[in-house]
Amino acid sequence: MEAPTKFKDTGIVIRSTGGSYKVKTESGKVIDCVLRGKLRLEELKTTNPVAVGDRVVYYFENEEKAVIEEILPRKNFIQRRSTRSSSFQQVLCANIDQALIVVTIDEPFTPLSFVDSFLVMAEAFRIPAIVVFNKIDIARKKEKNWEKLKDYVCIYAEIGYKVLALSALNVEDRPKIVEVLANKISFISGLSGSGKSSLINLADPKLHLKTAPISHHTKKGRHTTTYAQMYDLEFGGSIIDVPGFREFEITDIDRYELSHYFPEMRKYFHQCKFNNCTHTSEPGCAIIRAVQEGEIASTRYNTYLGMLNNLEKPVYD
């Protein structure tokens, strides 16, 4: 008797923890899967061969056990240098339409270098990015923070990014976030405690994602979300909530290419005197001139210099 052909189906990975995966099948059911042994060894440069958002082919080995056999080609993905091992990359998500970066002026304080590194990564992976200033109710309490918020909104809006400024606890702000998320697959990122899960709850209160106050003492988040998971939104679309990160370190960019991922720098680099200009101290550099003339924000240029410096550091494990 011939062995029955294996029943195979495709699905989307909605959660990945250790070696086990939750996969949403074509029919909308969520099943637990493991990874076929061979696949685990294939992607040696990443700490996780399968990421949330991956489309996969799976089959049932027996009634209880479903196995991921193949990862379908990715439309795109976001990765950063792994914190566990610096020569490895950690893939944060795959197949997304857009990435949101949540920024808080205070409680916690989000450094602009963090925001800019994220935006560079999104540019490098050609993923549209949206800058979401959250906790504006807190920023409003101090004149200095309120001024800062207004300046920062201008910086990113002028570059051409879509910018939102809202409070995840204010239901009146709900339409702003719903409009951005509707019918798209989104990734949301930001420091722990910046309000990522709260923003998702604002958009779709039925999700009831876990949130927790930041520490009084350190003014930092408490890493409330502990694993990445994709959630379907009641108004269409889905979003991947993730634990907060401290850093987005990017290592795979050529030093002469880094400025290409700062959209506002693009129109200047053809005007530099040297065509291999790194825009650090070369004479006749059009980018340095644009910074001096206030055409490029100095915060952005400082991030550029910091990232360039990091790219030049050798990677040790």
Q: In b/e form, how buried is each residue of 17-38, taking b as 16+ CB within 10 angstroms?
A: eeeebbbbeeeeeeeebebeee
DSSP state of 279: S
Instruction: Specify the residue, 159 or 212, whose C-beta has the smaller distance to ligand GTP.
Output: 212
CB 130 within 8 Å of CB 99: yes
Write down the least CB distance from residue 161 to Zn ion, Å.
Answer: 23
User: Of ligand GTP, Mg ion, Zn ion, none, which one sits near residue 213, judging by CB under 5 to 8 A according to partner kind?
Assistant: ligand GTP
| Helix (H/G/I), strand (E/B), else coil: 102 | strand
Instruction: Specify the residue, 159 or 212, whose C-beta has the smaller distance to Mg ion.
Output: 212
User: Of ligand GTP, Zn ion, Mg ion, none, which one sits near residue 53, judging by CB under 5 to 8 A according to partner kind?
Assistant: none
Residue 134 sits in the site that holds Mg ion (CB under 5 A): no
Instruction: Specify the residue, 144 or 223, whose C-beta has the smaller distance to ligand GTP.
Output: 223
Provide the binding-site residues for ligand GTP, judged by CB under 6 A: 134-135, 137-138, 167-169, 190, 192-198, 211-214, 221-225, 243-244
Write down the least CB distance from residue 19 to Zn ion, Å.
Answer: 47
Instruction: Specify the residue, 236 or 284, whose C-beta has the smaller distance to Zn ion.
Output: 284
Instruction: Specify the residue, 117 or 259, whose C-beta has the smaller distance to ligand GTP.
Output: 117
Instruction: Please enumerate in sequence order all residues whose Cβ is within 8 A of that of 239, keeping only pairs 6 or more positions apart, or say none.
Output: 181, 185, 186, 187, 188, 200, 203, 230, 231, 233
Closest C-alpha to 230, from 204, 250, 191: 204
User: Of Zn ion, Mg ion, ligand GTP, none, which one sits near residue 277, judging by CB under 5 to 8 A according to partner kind?
Assistant: Zn ion
299 CB-side CA count, 13 A: 16
Amino acid making up residue 164: L
Residue of the chain from 79, 110, 197, 278 that contacts Mg ion (CB under 5 A): 197
Q: Which of residues 204-243 bind Mg ion (CB under 5 A)?
A: 224-225
Residue 279 sits in the site that holds Zn ion (CB under 5 A): yes
192/225 Cα distance (integer angstroms): 8
Q: In b/e form, how buried is each residue of 283-306, taking b as 16+ CB within 10 angstroms?
A: eebbbbebbeeeebbebbbebbee
78/198 Cα distance (integer angstroms): 22
Structure tokens at 254: 């050529």
Write down the least CB distance from residue 109 to Mg ion, Å.
Answer: 18
Write down the least CB distance from residue 54 to ligand GTP, Å.
Answer: 22
Write down the least CB distance from residue 259 to Zn ion, Å.
Answer: 8
Instruction: Specify the residue, 228 or 290, whose C-beta has the smaller distance to Zn ion.
Output: 290
Q: Which one of 129-137, 204-212, 234-242, 273-281 is the stretch in contact with Zn ion (CB under 5 A)? A: 273-281
**Residues in binding contact with Zn ion, number by CB under 5 A:** 5
Structure tokens at 122: 């999104």
Residue 258 sits in the site that holds Zn ion (CB under 5 A): no
304/194 Cα distance (integer angstroms): 24
Other Cβ atoms less than 10 A from the Cβ of 7: the count is: 8
